[in-house]
Amino acid sequence: MVRLPEWTETFEAFNLSQAEFPHFSMHSGLKKLQIKHSNLQYIHPLAFQPLPGIEELILSDNLIEKLPKNILQTMRNLKVLDLSGNKINGLEGIGGQLATFQPLPGIEELILSDNLIEKLPTNILQTMRNLKVLDLSGNKINGLEGIGGQLGRLNLKNNPWTFCSLNMELLEIGNIGVGYELNLRGCKKLKWLHADNNKFDRLSFGESSGPEKLLSISLNSNHFKEWPESLLDVSHSLIILNLANNLINYLPENGKLLMTLFPCLEQLDLSGNKLSRFEAS
């Protein structure tokens, strides 16, 4: 058992070899608990009950796959929860309090980067009224609904993300560092897409499930190496297309033929790419 002096407000440990979380004696004055770069794998359901005053709980870079049900329920003062660098594959196993988050009304920072999470429970963020920072980078997330209104930082780097909601018309996701595929299947009402300064290299709409009347696309400063063939799915309505500052080095057809497939197109920006030739007429 770990017995801390009464004046202790911070406990930090690194490189612990044990798989089970330490057993603490009652200590309501502890504000910060940090165990990093260790072999923690199992946490007893009552592990945090002796520590109700914790405001920062940092258990990053361990081997944790899940937390026991309702384990955070007594931690009403918790403001920062860092579970990055573990093996968590879903939030349902974190006791439901991350599914509803009712027991944690004061949470401000939730760090879940570099885990194996594939999805978040519906409307999870709407119940985190004070959440300011959410880091989900390095997971396998492919969808999210109900982003909270107070959220100031949302990190989604290196996730195969699907951006969509039923009635979305305008989507602005510039400068958030997301990469790989931009998947817009199901976004039938989408009209304006702004996704500059990211790391997208693929674009997918879906032949019949994508936008019915997309008017404007801006993908400036991404990682496209070739003309996105999926643009043909929205070519009938597209008016503005910005693919500047990518890595495109060729077009699938000569410019004149390509442009006939976009009858409404008024603005096309391909500057800053690697095209050696473009015949527009």
Q: Do residues 272 and 169 share a domain?
A: yes
Domain extent at residue 28: 1-159
Q: Answer whether residue 221 shows pLDDT above 70.
A: yes
* pLDDT tens, position by position, 243-272: 999 999 988 766 667 778 899 999 999 999
Report how many domains make up the chain.
Answer: 2
Q: Do residues 144 and 209 share a domain?
A: no
Higher pLDDT, 229 or 106: 229
Q: Do residues 39 and 83 share a domain?
A: yes
Q: Do residues 131 and 214 share a domain?
A: no
Residue where one domain finishes, among candidates 124, 159, 194 = 159
Q: Do residues 25 and 135 share a domain?
A: yes
DSSP secondary structure, the chain, as one string? -B---TT--EEEEES---SBPP-BPP-TT--EEEEESS---B--TTTTTT-TT-SEEE--SS------TTTTTT-TT--EEE-TTS----STTTTTHHHH-TT-TT--EEE--SS------TTGGGG-TT--EEE-TTS---------TT--EEE-TT---B---TT--EEE-TTS--EEEEE-TT-TT--EEE--SSEEEEEE--TTTS-SS--EEE--SS---S--GGGGGGTTT--EEE-TTS-----SS-HHHHHHT-TT--EEE-TTS--S-----
Q: Do residues 1 and 130 share a domain?
A: yes
Q: Do residues 191 and 138 share a domain?
A: no
Q: Do residues 213 and 193 share a domain?
A: yes
Averaged confidence pLDDT in the chain: 83
**Mean pLDDT computed over 45-49:** 91
Residue where one domain finishes, among candidates 159, 185, 211 = 159
Q: Do residues 94 and 223 share a domain?
A: no
* pLDDT tens, position by position, 81-125: 999 999 998 775 454 444 444 546 688 898 999 999 887 765 566
CATH code for the domain in which residue 43 is found: 3.80.10.10
Residue where one domain finishes, among candidates 130, 159, 188 = 159
* pLDDT tens, position by position, 157-204: 666 666 666 677 888 788 877 778 888 877 888 899 999 998 899 998
Q: Do residues 153 and 256 share a domain?
A: no
Rounded Cα distance, 189 and 108, in Å: 33
Higher pLDDT, 208 or 125: 208
> Is residue 102 exposed (0-12), middle (13-18) or buried (19+ Cβ within 10 Å)?
exposed
Please give the pLDDT value at position 104. 62
Structure tokens at 187: 């976004």
Q: Do residues 5 and 105 share a domain?
A: yes
Q: Do residues 148 and 166 share a domain?
A: no
